[in-house]
Copies of this chain bind each other. A is one copy, B any other.
Amino acid sequence: MRNPLKKEFSLSLYLEDKRKLINNTLLDIIFLLDEERELISAIKYSLMANGKRLRPVLSIAAFECIEHIEKTDKKDEDFSKLILIPACAIEMIHTYSLIHDDLPAMDDDDLRRGKPTLHKKYSEASAILAGDALLTHAFFILSNPDLLKSKKSLNNDILIKIISIISNAAGINGMVEGQMLDMQSLNKDNSDSLEYLKKMHSLKTGKMIQASVKIGAIAGGASLEEINMLDKYAENIGLAFQIVDDILDIEGDASIIGKPVGSDVANNKMTFPGIIGLEQSKKYAKDLIDDAIAKLKIFGHQALPLHEIANYIIKRNY
C-alpha cells in the first residue's frame, strides 16, 4: 500500500510514511545537540510541533517523481536519505519563519497550532535566537550531508545548487521580502490590488514551495524540461494553497484550522475573497490546481503523489 507506484495509492498513508521519515530525521539532527540547552529545547518545541511537513514531503515526492530514479534501487535506504537532509533544511527554515513571524513586532500571535507561540512559551529573546539558529543550522546540515552517517550523499556541485536555490527563495528576494510586504500591506490601502496580493504570497510562501519541489527534482537528476514543469506545478499549488487558506478563514471550522474563523477580516488582512469574491476565489484555486496537474503529465504514474498532493491542497480543511 505504501508503494506510490501502485494503482491503489493512498495519499494519507503516503503522507504518514513520509512525515514519519521527516520527523525521525529531524529528531536525529536534534539528537546530535545538547537538549539541556535552552536554545535547543526551544528549537525542538517549535520544530517538532506537529507540522504538516508539506514542504519536505514535496521535496521527497519530486525526488521520487524523476523517472530515471526508478532504474536505481528505490528501496536502498541510503539512497532515499539523499533528499532527507535538504528536505529537513527546508522544514527548519519554514519553522524559523513561523517563529519570527509570530513575534510581537511582527504578527504578534500567541498561539500556533493550538500551542503557545515560542516567545510566549520561552521569551522573545529566545524566540529570536531560536529562529536565527534554525536558519543557520539549515545551512550547516546542507553543507554536511553525511551528518547522519549515510553511506551516500549528494555531490558538492548539487549541494551548492540546492543551497543557492534555498537561500534565494528564503531571503532578500523571496520569503523575507514577502513578510516585509505583508507587514507593509497593513499600513497602506492595497485592498483592491490583486497584483500586490499575488506578489506578496508568491514571495512569502510560493518561492519556498517552489524551492522544495526544485531541490527534490535536482537531487533526483531531473532534466531542464522536468525542472520547468515541476516549477510551474509548484508555483500553481503554492498560490492555490494561499487562496484556500483565505477561503478557510471564511468557511473553515475553527476547531480544525486552529484559529478563529474571520480573523483575516478582523485583522484587516488582504485576502483573495476580499478582492475577487469567494466564488471567484474558489474557481481561481481550482484552475491553478488543474493547471498544476496538467504539468505532471510527462512524468506518468511516478507523479501520482504530486498529483494527489495537488488535489489535497484544494480539498484540505486545515
Contacts and interface: CB of A to CB of B under 8 A. Distances in A.
A33 interface: yes
A156 B160 contact: yes
Interface residues of A, number: 47
A123 B135 contact: no
Copies per complex of this chain = 2
Interface stretch (A59-67, A162-170, A243-251, A256-264): A162-170
Given A105-B128, A128-B105, A168 B140 contact: yes
B137 A171 contact: yes
A154 to B, nearest CB: 10
Interface string A125-145: 110110111011101101110
A103 interface: yes
Given A33-B172, A167-B136, A172-B137, A180 B105 contact: no
Q: Which 6 A-B pairs have the closest CB atoms?
A: A136-B171, A105-B124, A140-B167, A143-B164, A143-B163, A139-B167
22 contacts: A33-B173, A39-B172, A103-B128, A105-B124, A106-B128, A125-B183, A129-B176, A131-B132, A132-B171, A133-B176, A135-B136, A136-B176, A137-B171, A137-B172, A139-B167, A140-B168, A140-B171, A140-B172, A143-B164, A144-B164, A156-B157, A159-B160
